[in-house]
């Protein structure tokens, strides 16, 4: 592990432990269906501790980002993975296209919406935008067996606005229209709803053309502001 990662994780672990709130942790774990243990930190406390841990450290290189993310994913407490998502988002302009493999590992490990969504809409989104050749990987993910990779492919253009590849977005949504999992159906609705802010007529037409295959959840979410 790089020197930056060692120092950062040591500081972070100390700060997180000092701020631990066992009572709050019980409620946080229950909210996440008891899939992960928590330290009981609010987002504000977690980010304040992160700022202290990062103070004086140099800007990370790609190897630092990989080391920090992997080390955070190896910790039991969910706040470490949430910190890693914030850290990667803050430095999304640093890594090259090979970092997508690390992102895939994070997305498919300890998977839940609280980490997958920022990884999809910020980290993967930034990688694909800066390295267009990675679009081919999104095409692969859009039909992957892992539902979190599917969700990521559908959501990665969420903040692209006018730069959205509409044909690709609609292709992914149509391909997974009958997916049985809630999180994929929700992602379809969310992605379409967001794109409707930019091109409402295109989304209306898509919903009309696929009314027979899209789930009621996807249609309801997509049409919220139409």
pLDDT, position 80: 98
pLDDT, position 147: 98
pLDDT, position 107: 98
Helices (H), the chain: 3-18, 22-31, 43-54, 62-74, 78-90, 99-107, 113-118, 125-130, 135-141, 147-155, 166-175, 182-196, 200-209, 216-222
**From the CB of residue 111, how many other CB atoms can be counted at a distance below 10 Å?**
18
Query: What is the set of domains in the chain, with CATH numbers?
Result: 1-91 (1.25.10.90), 112-225 (1.25.10.90)
How far, in Å, CA of 77 to CA of 82, rounded?
Answer: 9
pLDDT, position 159: 98
Q: For the CA atoms of 2, 63, 144, 166, what is the dihedral angle to 10 degrees?
A: 140
Report pLDDT digits (tens) over 34-66. Answer: 999 999 999 999 999 999 999 999 999 999 999
The stretches in the chain having pLDDT less than 70 are none
How far, in Å, CA of 14 to CA of 55, rounded?
Answer: 14
């Amino acid at each position: 592990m790089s020197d930056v990662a060692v120092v950062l994780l040591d500081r972070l672990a100390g700060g997180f432990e000092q701020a631990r709130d066992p009572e709050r942790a019980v409620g946080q774990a229950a909210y996440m269906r008891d899939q992960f243990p928590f330290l009981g930190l609010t987002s504000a406390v977690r980010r304040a501790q992160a700022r202290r841990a990062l103070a004086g450290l140099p800007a990370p290189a790609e190897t630092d980002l990989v080391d920090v993310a992997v080390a955070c994913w190896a910790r039991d407490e969910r706040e470490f993975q949430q910190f890693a998502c914030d850290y990667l988002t803050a430095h999304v302009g640093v890594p090259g296209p090979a970092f997508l493999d690390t992102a895939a590992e994070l997305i498919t490990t300890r998977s839940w919406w609280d980490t997958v969504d920022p990884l999809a809409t910020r980290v993967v989104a930034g990688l694909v935008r800066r390295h267009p050749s990675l679009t081919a990987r999104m095409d692969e993910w859009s039909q992957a067996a892992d539902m979190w990779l599917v969700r990521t492919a559908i959501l990665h253009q969420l903040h692209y606005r006018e730069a959205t590849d509409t044909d690709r977005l609609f292709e992914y949504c149509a391909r997974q229209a009958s997916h049985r999992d809630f999180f994929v159906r929700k992602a379809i609705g969310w992605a379409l709803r967001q794109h409707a802010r930019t091109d409402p007529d295109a989304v209306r037409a898509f919903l009309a053309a696929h009314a027979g295959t899209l789930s009621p959840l996807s249609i309801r979410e997509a049409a919220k502001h139409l």
